[in-house]
């Protein structure tokens, strides 16, 4: 069930990030449950947030005033995980940073 729900969020972040970004505060609550997810689900969460973050940054640069809270929350969580003493959390942080870097390296299309 969780994987299907995370897949739906990722699909929305890919196909229509502006609509999902409008509900960013609700989507951010998923970050509270990272402990319950396996590595594949953690990757899906971070890919979703990386897409929302990239969209928010491009929208802000274009003067559209997109909400950058998702971006800030993502960076806070990643910093906490990367600096954590337990390897499990560090691994989650590496998965998240990889998702962000991958998204930043992509050439933006006209869709997102």
Task: Indicate the domain borders of the chain.
Answer: 2-105
Name the pTM for this structure. 0.83
52 token code pair? 């929302």
- pLDDT tens-digit series, residues 91-111: 999 999 999 999 888 766 655
- The C-alpha torsion from 10 through 67 and 106 to 95, rounded to 10°, is -60
Distance CA 28, CA 44 (A): 13
55 within 8 A of 112, measured Cβ to Cβ: yes
Q: Which of 88, 11, 100 is nearest to 49 (CA)?
A: 100
- pLDDT tens-digit series, residues 7-55: 999 999 999 998 888 888 888 889 889 999 999 999 999 999 888 888 8
10 token code pair? 């990722």
């Amino acid at each position: 069930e969780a994987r299907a729900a995370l897949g739906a969020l990722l699909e929305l972040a890919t196909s229509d990030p502006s609509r999902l970004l409008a509900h960013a505060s609700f989507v951010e609550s998923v970050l509270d449950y990272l402990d319950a997810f396996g590595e594949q689900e953690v990757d899906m969460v971070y890919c979703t947030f990386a897409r929302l973050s990239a969209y928010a940054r491009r929208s802000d640069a274009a003067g559209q005033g997109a909400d950058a809270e998702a971006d800030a929350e993502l960076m806070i969580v990643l910093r906490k995980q990367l600096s954590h003493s337990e390897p499990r959390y560090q691994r989650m942080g590496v998965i998240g940073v990889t998702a962000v870097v991958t998204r930043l390296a992509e050439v933006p299309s006209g869709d997102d």
